[in-house]
Amino acid sequence: MAELYIIGTVSGGSDFEETERLYCKWKCISDENNTNDGPHNFWRVLDGTEEGTTQQATMQFEQLLHWSHPIDIHYAFTSTVGWPRFYCEVWHVDEYNRHRLKGYGTCMIPTTPGVHTVECVTWRPFSGPDNKVFEGLLTTREEFADGPEILLEGDKRTQQW
């Protein structure tokens, strides 16, 4: 049985409209907890936490957020099918303590050993110009009901449209 160690950090973020009180919810999703409901379970977590939430941060010099949140996961696997992916959501806490989604992001964990810098681009559903007027008044914004499931499972993406 092969093993995979993921050791790193959710370092930070940039290019968000808001400049303060931003945080990131993240998870590493492998075959074990995402796509494989059948008799074959190729991935197993031996140690570590597969998800977490950073502290709130304010943009500093050069418009960068600094979270420096540690990731340390130890997997055992029997197949590369279902290789782990990194999923994140960036949230903003407004002046009324409402938590508003600023973006979804997903990217692959590198498959080669060594030191890597992985940039995870975030995005969110676009609300039309008519909805912008009500955005500040309502407690919710355009979001996916099934967040990670839609973004990470191909069959669910095609069913939505």
More confident residue, 153 or 79: 79
User: In this predicted structure, what is the pLDDT of residue 9?
Assistant: 96
Look at residue 7 and tell me whether its pLDDT is greater than 70: yes
Taking only the tens place, the pLDDT of each residue in 16-51 is 888 899 999 999 998 754 444 555 678 999 999 999
pLDDT at residue 150 above 80? no
| SS3 label, residue 105 | strand
Q: pLDDT at residue 83 above 50?
A: yes
Per-residue pLDDT for 65 more than 50? yes
| Inter-residue contact 132 to 148 (CB < 8 Å) | no
pLDDT exceeds 50 at position 127: yes
Task: Identify the three-state secondary structure at position 24.
Answer: strand
> In whole angstroms, what separates CA 130 from the centre of its chain?
29
Q: Which of 31-35, 74-78, 138-142 has the highest mean pLDDT?
A: 74-78
Q: What is the pTM of this model?
A: 0.78
Q: Which contiguous run of DSSP H or E holds residue 131?
A: helix 129-135
Biggest CA pair distance of the chain:
55
Average pLDDT over residues 127-155: 57
Tell me the C-alpha to C-alpha distance, in Å, between residue 8 and each of 29, 69, 97, 114.
16, 8, 30, 11
For residue 44, what are its two tokens? Answer: 């197993």
Collapsing DSSP to helix, strand or coil, 146 comes out as coil
Share of the chain above pLDDT 90, in %: 52
Q: In what order do the strands lie in the sheet with 85-93?
A: 51-53, 22-29, 85-93, 99-108, 122-123
